[in-house]
Amino acid sequence: MAKRPVPATAADFDNVLQYLQARGIMPHTPSAATVENAKKIHRATYSLILWRFRLGKLPEHGSAFIEEIASDSLQVLPQVFMGYSKTSKLMMRGILENTLRHVYFTDHPVEYALMNMEEKWYLSMEELLQYAKEHPDFRKTEPKFDALARMKNLYAELSAGIHGRRVSDLEMRTALEKIVYEEANGARLTSLVERCAEAANFVLAIFQRAKFNGFGVEDRRIILRTMDSRARALWREMDS
């Protein structure tokens, strides 16, 4: 699939870039590499937010987690460029968790009600992954495109990054001054965001394929271009 700009995302990125520059989050003359990282993160997170506005009316036990995906996705780009890599990874981990929660709780409204009662009922990431692996749709897709295995590996990688940080200065201002955007780390975070979007979008496109087929051509293109050719081919195969 050609990577030419999609008009909707290109225009939105220009507005976002101006906003981040006005807020001092990004420099007024960013390097080409910085702009390219920002574009990639924007494309990935825009595609995830799109589900919130295109899936249509869903019952609360399904829509709640689509809302969470959009909320987490919105915050990734500014967090990356403020240098908050730990927060960025927390947001990405939340996207993965809420994608799997959407799958599970769409099928389990009673358990959703239990989760929201005073005495909380909780499913771990491992349990959510196990349910998805046993779901008829993903039993078909996983041998050909291992989105769930990728989710599991990425989740572990993000968790290691979240829990492996140190604070070296007692004076908070000194510690905060050291939190800055660095090009090399920005590139690593960009790659993580793209991997997150690919796996989450594939799972949502398969699980919600009837609704996804009703999206406009440009909207489908925005989401499908986050996936590699094998994932797109498999989605078409499942759709046929």
Per-residue pLDDT band for 194 (boundaries 50, 70, 90) equals very high
Q: Which of 115, 120, 117, 90 is nearest to 104 (CA)?
A: 115
- What value does the mean pLDDT take over residues 53-60? 92
Higher pLDDT, 3 or 159: 159
Average pLDDT for the chain: 90
Q: What is the mean pLDDT of residues 146-172?
A: 81
**Within a 10 A sphere around the Cβ of 64, how many other Cβ atoms?**
17
| Residue 2 pLDDT | 42
pLDDT of residue 179: 61
Q: Are 200 and 192 in contact (CB under 8 A)?
A: no
Average pLDDT value for residue range 124-142: 96
Contacts of 214 (CB under 8 A, 6+ apart): none
Mean pLDDT along residues 163-187: 69
**pLDDT digit string (tens) for 87-122?**
999 999 999 999 999 999 999 998 888 887 766 677
| Chain centroid to CA 145 | 18
Terminal-residue alpha carbon distance, the chain: 19
Q: Give the burial string for 87-117 (b: 16+ CB within 10 Å, else e).
A: bbbbbbbbbbbbbbbbbbbbebeeebeebee
- Token pair, residue 215, equals 């999206």
* Type of residue at 176: L
* Pair 224, 1: CB distance under 8 Å: yes
pTM for this prediction: 0.92
Q: What is the mean pLDDT of residues 63-78?
A: 97
Question: Which pair of structure tokens corresponds to residue 63?
Answer: 């829509």
Helices (H), 55-121: 60-81, 85-107, 109-115
Q: C-alpha angle with apex 38: 34 to 42, nearest 5 degrees?
A: 175
pLDDT at 123: 87
Distance from C-alpha of 4 to C-alpha of 22, rounded to nearest angstrom: 27
Band of pLDDT at residue 232, cut at 50, 70 and 90: very high
CB atoms within 10 A of CB 183: 11
Q: Is the pLDDT of residue 80 over 50?
A: yes
Contact (CB, 8 A) for 141 and 234: yes
Percent of the chain with pLDDT over 90: 75
The pLDDT of residue 84 is: 86
- Per the listing, tokens 């959703």 go with 112
